[in-house]
Amino acid sequence: MQPVEQLFALQRMDTRLAVLRRSLEVLDPGQSLEALLEQVRAAEQVTAAQLKETQTRLRDLELSLSGTAEKARKIEQELYSGRVGNPKELTAMQEDVAALGRQRQRIEDEMLALMEDTERLAQELGTLEAQRGARERELEDHLTQYRAHTRALEDELAALQVKRDTLAAEITPDVLKRYERLRERKDGLAVAQVLGDGICEGCHVKIPDRLYADLQETDALRTCEECGRILYAPRR
C-alpha cells in the first residue's frame, strides 16, 4: 500500500470509530421511561394510601354504628320495661334515643360516601397498577434493546480499534503525526478523497487539473490548496 492509501484507510477507520463512539454516547439508557414509571408508581402509592385510610375509617364507623345501636337498644329496653315512672326521666330517655338515631343517620351517611370513595379509589388503583405493569414492560423491553445495541457497538468498536492500531503501527511516525495533527484541526477529516469531478471531499472545491494529474503519478503526499487536507485519489 502507498502511504496515502494507508492514510486513507486509517481515515476511514477513524471516521467509523468516531461514528461508533457518538452512537454509544447518544444511546438512551431509558431515563425518560424510568421517570414515567416513577410517576405512575408515586401515584399508585398515594392512591393505595388513600384507599387504606378510607377503609380504616369505614371500619371505625362500623364499630361506632353498632355501639350507637347498642346504646339505643339498651335505653329502649329500659324505656319499655316500665321500671321508669318519672315523666322527666322518660322524656330525657326518649330524647337520648332520638339523639342516638340522628347520630346513627350521620354515621350511615358518612359510611355511604366512604363506600363510594372506596369503590372509586379501588378502581383508580387498578388502573394505575395496570399502567405501572405496562410501563415496567416498556422499560424492560427498552433496556433489553439498549443493552444489545451497546454490546454490538462496543464489539465493533473494539475490533475496529485493533485493526486501526495495527495499521497505524505500519505508518511512518512522522506521517502519522502529521495525519493526527491535521485530523485535530480539520474536524476529524485529515485525508480527503478526490470525488468524481475532481472535487475535494473535505471542502467541496474543485482541485486544479495539474494537481489531479500529479496525484495519479506521485507517491508523495499532496494537499488540497483550499482546505489543506491530504488528498487521496484512487489510481485509474
Give the binding site for Zn ion (CB under 5 A).
Answer: 200, 202-203, 224, 226-227
Residue with Cβ nearer Zn ion (215 or 227): 227
Residue with Cβ nearer Zn ion (100 or 227): 227
Q: How far apart are CB 215 and Zn ion at their closest, in Å? A: 13
Residue with Cβ nearer Zn ion (69 or 199): 199
Q: How far apart are CB 204 and Zn ion at their closest, in Å? A: 7
Q: What's the length of the chain? A: 236
What 8-state DSSP symbol labels residue 30? S
**206 phi/psi in degrees, rounded to 5:** -75, 130
Residue with Cβ nearer Zn ion (96 or 226): 226
CB-CB contact of 225 with 211 (8 Å):
yes
DSSP secondary structure string for all residues of 149-194:
HHHHHHHHHHHHHHHHHHHHHHS-HHHHHHHHHHHHHTTT--EEEE
Q: How far apart are CB 184 and Zn ion at their closest, in Å? A: 17
154 vs 150: CA distance, rounded Å: 6
- The DSSP bridge pattern shows strands 199-200 and 191-195 to be antiparallel
Residue with Cβ nearer Zn ion (3 or 198): 198
Q: How far apart are CB 226 and Zn ion at their closest, in Å? A: 4
Residue 10: C-alpha distances to residues 5, 54, 164, 186, 208 (Å)? 8, 70, 6, 15, 25
Residue with Cβ nearer Zn ion (135 or 229): 229
Q: How far apart are CB 222 and Zn ion at their closest, in Å? A: 11
DSSP secondary structure string for all residues of 120-142:
HHHHHHHHHHHHHHHHHHHHHHH
Q: How far apart are CB 231 and Zn ion at their closest, in Å? A: 7
